[in-house]
Amino acid sequence: MIVIAARLALLFAIVGSISTTVYLALVIIGVCYLRKSSRRAANKTPDLPPVSILKPLHGMEPQLEENLRSFFEQQYASFEILFAADDEDDQALEIVRKLSAKYPDVRVRVLVTGKPGFFNPPAYSFYRMGEVAAHDIWVTSDSDVSVTPDYLREISPALLDPSVGMVTCVYRGASTRGFWSLMDALGMSVEMTAGVLVANLLEGMKFGLGPTIAVRKDSIEKIGGFQAVGEYFSNDFMIGNLIEKAGYRVLLSNHPVTHVVPPMTARQMWNRQVRWAVGTRYSRPKGHLGTLMTLAMPFGILGFFAGACSGHLALGLWLFGMALANRMIESAVVGGIVVHDSRAVRFAWLYPLRDFLGFLVWCASYCNSKAVWRGKNFTLTKDGKIALRQVIRANDSPGTMPQ
C-alpha cells in the first residue's frame, strides 16, 4: 500500500515538474514579449504631457526621504506632486516640507484628508487628490516606492494614445535589512513578476500593480473614479480590471520601479505574504488556484521522497535537481533581465527556498478569509471586498480603517 501511494505521488511530482518546466518556458517567452512590445509601444513624439503624481502617506517608513526625493528629481518638463495624509501630525509630512524647501521649482500640494471615507484608505486618498489635481494624467504610487529620474518620461507618453487607459510597471523588491526582508523582496522581483509576465503574454494586462498605476482622467472617470474601488482590498488589481472592461488597453511597461521592503521578522513576513495571497485568491480565484502548478520546489521535494519510497531514488533526485535548476534560472532571468535586480541574480541559489515558502503561503491562503493589515484583522467577501475590520492592537481606536 505504501509503495502504491509513493508511486502515485511520484507520478504527480512528474506531472508537476512538467507543468513548472512549461511555466518557466512561458516566463522566458513573456520576457521576450514584454521587451518587444515595449519597443513597439515606445512613443517617438517629443510631446510630454503634464502629469500629476498622487502620493498617499501614512507615517514614517524606511528610506522614506530617499523614496520621495526620487519623485522630486524627475527630469520632466511639467509635473506636480500631491501628497495626502490622514492628519496634519503625520510624521511623513515633515519629510515633504523638507524636500519642498530643497526643490522649490517642483509644485507641491498637501492634503489632510481626515478619517478615510472608504474601506480602502489609499483609494480614498487618491480620490481626494484627484479632485484637485491640475493635470489630466495621474500617476499613483505608494510611499515605499523609489524611481529613476526618467520614470515619468518612460511611462507617461503612452497615455497620449486615446485607446490606452492605463500604464502599470514591473517592480523589484529592495530589502533594507535582514533575511526575511530579502525573502519578501525576492518574491516581489521574481515570483510576482514571473506571474505578471505570463498573464501579459497569454491574456494581456487586465489588472494593475500598486507601485505604479498611471491613468488618464477620462479613463478613471469612465469606471466611476476611485470610488468604484473604495471597498476592494486589491484596489490596484480592480482599477486595471475595470479600465480594461471599459474598453481601454492596459499596458505593462518594462520600466522597473523599486519597492522598498522594510526590515521584518519571520512572522511579519508571513502575515504580509498571506495577506497578499488572500487578496489574490479573492480577486483572481482561478489564477490563484493555478499558482500551485507554477511552483517547482513542492514537486521536486515530493518527487525526491516519493522516489526514495518507491525504489526510484535516481528519478527522485533528478526531479529535485530539476526543480532547483528551474527556480534558479527563473530568478536569474526575471531578476536580471526584467527588473534589473542584482540581488535576484546573486541570490538565485536562495530562490528555491523562497519558492517553497510561496507554496506554504498559497496553502495558508485557503485556510480562511482573514489576514492582518497594519495591525488589524480584516475579512474579505467572495468578490474581494473588505467586509469586516477588527482592531487588534490596544492603541488603535475602534472603527479605524486599515491602511
Q: Which domains does the chain have, with CATH numbers?
A: 38-184+210-282 (3.90.550.10), 371-403 (no CATH)
For the segment 55-90, what is each residue's pLDDT rounded down to a tens digit?
A: 999 888 889 999 999 999 999 989 999 999 999 999
DSSP 119-160: SSHHHHHHHHHHHH-SSSEEEE--TTEE--TTHHHHHSGGGG
**Mean per-residue pLDDT for 17-25?**
97
SS3 state at 170: strand
> Phi and psi dihedrals of 25, rounded to 5?
-60, -40
Distance CA 73, CA 98 (A): 14
8's CB contacts (< 8 A; 6+ apart) are none
Average pLDDT, the chain: 89
Instruction: Report which of residues 374 and 188 the model is more confident about.
Output: 188
Distance CA 249, CA 161 (A): 10
Q: Is it the case that residue 402 has pLDDT exceeding 50? A: no
CA atoms within 13 A of residue 393's CA, in its CB half-sphere: 10
Query: Which pLDDT score is estimated for 396?
Result: 35
Structure-block grid coordinates of residue 32: 521576450
**Residue tagged 502629469 (cell numbers):** 51
Query: Which pLDDT score is estimated for 388?
Result: 52
Distance CA 142, CA 151 (A): 14
pLDDT above 90 coverage of the chain, percent: 72
Distance CA 13, CA 307 (A): 9
Query: Which pLDDT score is estimated for 375?
Result: 55
pTM above 0.85? yes
Distance CA 145, CA 141 (A): 7
Query: Which pLDDT score is estimated for 196?
Result: 96
267's CB contacts (< 8 A; 6+ apart) are none
Q: Is it the case that residue 390 has pLDDT exceeding 50? A: no
The DSSP output letter for 173 is E
Distance CA 400, CA 46 (A): 46
**Residue tagged 491602511 (cell numbers):** 403
Query: Which pLDDT score is estimated for 115?
Result: 85
**Mean per-residue pLDDT for 255-281?**
91
Query: Which pLDDT score is estimated for 232?
Result: 85
Query: Which pLDDT score is estimated for 340?
Result: 95
60 closest CA partner among 93, 33, 34: 93
For the segment 189-239, what is each residue's pLDDT rounded down to a tens digit?
A: 999 999 999 999 999 999 999 999 999 999 999 999 999 988 888 888 999
Query: Which pLDDT score is estimated for 107?
Result: 96
For the segment 290-348, what is each residue's pLDDT rounded down to a tens digit?
A: 999 999 999 999 999 999 998 899 999 999 999 999 999 999 999 999 999 999 999 99
For the segment 338-385, what is each residue's pLDDT rounded down to a tens digit?
A: 999 999 999 999 999 999 999 999 999 998 766 555 555 667 676 677
User: Amino acid letter at 175?
Assistant: S
**Mean per-residue pLDDT for 132-151?**
95
Contact 218, 181 (CB under 8 A): no
Least confident of 39-53, 67-81, 123-137, 221-235: 39-53
Which run of H or of E encompasses 32?
helix 2-41
- Cβ neighbour number for residue 346 with a 10 Å cutoff: 13
